[in-house]
Amino acid sequence: MSARTTLKAALLLGLAAIMATPATAQGNQLSAYKQRVTLLEDQLAVENLTATFGYYFDKGLWDQAAELFTARGSLEYGQRGVYITPARIRQAMLLFGPQGLAKGSLNNHMMLQPIVVVAPDGRTATGRWQGMVMLAAPNENGKWGVGIYENQYVKEGGVWKFAKLHFYVTAMTDYDLGFAKYAIQMEGPSALFPPDQPPSEVYRSFPNAYLPAYSYRHPVTGEVLKDLPMEGDDILGRPDRGMDSSKKEVSSAAKGMTR
Amino acid sequence: MIKRTHIIAALIGASSLAGLTPAIAQTSAEKLAALEARITRLEDMNAIEKLQRSYGYFVDKGQWTPLSELFTQDATLEIGGKGIFLGKARVLEYMQKAFGPDGTKKGALVNHMQFQPIPDISADGKTGWVRARAWVMSNGGWGLPLYENEYRKENGVWKISRLTGPFTMYSSWEGWGKWAMNNTWPDKFDPPPDLPPSVIYLTYPAYYIVPFHYPNPVTGKVFKPDMGEVGAYHRPPGTKEQQDSLKVGRWVDGSQPIGEPPRN
């Protein structure tokens, strides 16, 4: 190798080194941005999936709703127990009425206030949702209800699906009487289409208090929110958890809410 | 002559080449920076929406300690007409003293469902705002607070720096067709505030429009509700009651007391 060739090669190598550094850095930047955009897109896809379930469920579109689950996906509604696989989920939903709902029925289950957290690897996600419920059936008075969804999602072949949909009914009442005077209790497991598993968490709805564990971490402190204070249930034998029992006074604000 | 022209041409060529190379590099770096700014803005808007929603989920279940940890140290809180509470510690006191200690409690349904957020982020990415609403479904009745809140990014984490929640309507289970609370007031609420309400107004059937933090998204025009007519609409404009109500809660010079947090 002549001195001249060596010089040329050295120059080229040097140049390549200079060129490579910013190009690689920019490439890294781009792939980091791509991942951040993908996480935002995944969150939106999960939000749309859940909202779609809500729109199907409202109108008794059980066949369509069952298709939103993975092959081992599960549905759990209140204290009805756990139904696993789309075929059984479809059966469970028939307990709410026929496909397409019966005349005079209102089955609105609004899916609102999402906090969806996509795992950094982009394969799974969790979501807490506010479930507002408005029900009607022929020859019955209307009902108000509310509850919390804590769901799990999986991305399969680029498509987000429900791995687990769990609706914790919080409170249900008669439209005219309201929560000040009346509370409707949850239904238990069906004898007609028994669930695959009993309820995963046994609790009673309003006037009893139950706290479905938050799936996400505290947005500021990053703390896990699984064991926050909750009043116990004497019938179920569940003790108070983390409650400060020394202060039992009725609040001025609570007093102000009623005339 | 010819030689000179060539040299000049060569110089121009060289300088333009020299200028070109970093210019291209800079442009692509700039493009990347602009792209990152757009992604960060989307993430920030997403973060403050979730922050506001998690505030609601803590209210629903009476989890006042983690709720207060959503706020900055110097945050202010003003809900309904109860006045302004200064600092994170007073946010916690407000909740625990008025609504009892932390925890879900038998017989208490206090859902404050957080809907319809409109988030915005400042150009420097340090401040955020959300206009949103809460739909209150409780054992006491129905409620409709609005929010015009401010958020601050501290060390990469968004926190609530100002919560302003004026009420639209509060009613019992008799329904708003039969009964509605006209507002809440500092003298009827324990604990007392640090500062009086920033604005005096009446709720439904009167109404008050909390100013929008953002302009009309189509025309770009800033909409300013007439603050002089706050709480004025419980009687038709021009009537004596409406004129009298313009003086409610004002200093003698006609201005309204507005609280600022302490800066020491």
Task: Lay out the sheet containing A159-174: strands in order across.
Answer: A82-84, A69-77, A159-174, A143-156, A124-136, A106-118
Query: From the CA of B216, how many Å to the nearest CA of chain A?
Result: 24
Establish if B256 belongs to a structural domain: no
Q: How confident is the model at residue A170 (pLDDT cuts 50, 70, 90)?
A: very high
What distance in Å separates the CA atoms of residue A164 and residue B128, rounded to the nearest whole number? 34
Q: Is B139 on the interface with A (CB under 8 A)?
A: yes
The verdict on residue A199 lying in a domain is yes
**pLDDT band at residue B21 using 50, 70 and 90 as cut-offs:** low
B200, part of any domain: yes
pLDDT confidence of residue A2: 55
> Is B264 inside a domain boundary?
no
The predicted structure's pLDDT at residue A7:
59
Asked if B141 lies within 8 A of A26 by C-beta distance, the reply is: no
Question: Is B259 inside a domain boundary?
Answer: no
pLDDT exceeds 50 at position B27: yes
The verdict on a CB contact (< 8 Å) between A251 and B101 is no
As a whole number, mean pLDDT of residues B4-23 equals: 49
Q: What's the pLDDT band for A9 if we cut at 50, 70, 90?
A: low
Give the Cα separation of A84 and B177 in Å (integer). 45
Q: What range defines the domain where residue A55 resides?
A: 33-224
Q: Is residue A157 part of a domain?
A: yes
Residue B258 falls within a domain, yes or no?
no
Q: Is the model's pLDDT at A14 over the cut of 70? A: no
pLDDT (0 to 100) of residue B14 = 46
Asked whether the predicted pLDDT for residue B232 surpasses 60, the reply is no
CB contact under 8 A, B102 and A242: yes
A53 part of a folded domain: yes
Indicate the angle between helix axes A3-58 and B2-60, nearest 10 degrees: 30
- B261 within a domain of the structure (yes/no): no
Closest CA to B143 of B177, B113, B170: B170
pLDDT reading at B6 higher than 90: no
Residue A241 lies inside a defined structural domain of this protein: no
pLDDT of residue B225: 74
Distance from CA of B250 to the nearest CA of A (A): 26
How many structural domains are present in chain B? 1
A46 belongs to a structural domain: yes
Do residues B159 and B72 touch, judged by C-beta distance below 8 A?
A: yes
Least confidently predicted of A34-43, A183-192, B205-214, B241-250: B241-250
- DSSP class of B219: T
In-domain check, residue A126? yes
Give the pLDDT score at A20. Answer: 52
Domain containing B191 — which CATH number? 3.10.450.50
Looking at the 3D structure of chain A, how many domains does it have? 1
ipTM for the whole complex = 0.86
Provide the CATH number for the domain around residue A146. 3.10.450.50
**pTM for the structure as a whole:** 0.84
Residue B251 lies in a domain: no
A39 located within any domain: yes
- Count CB-CB contacts under 10 A for residue A210: 23
Q: Quick one: which H or E segment has residue A190?
A: none
Is residue B254 domain-resident? no
- Alpha-carbon distance A255 to nearest alpha carbon in chain B (angstroms): 9
Q: Is residue A243 part of a domain?
A: no
Domain span holding position B69 = 2-245
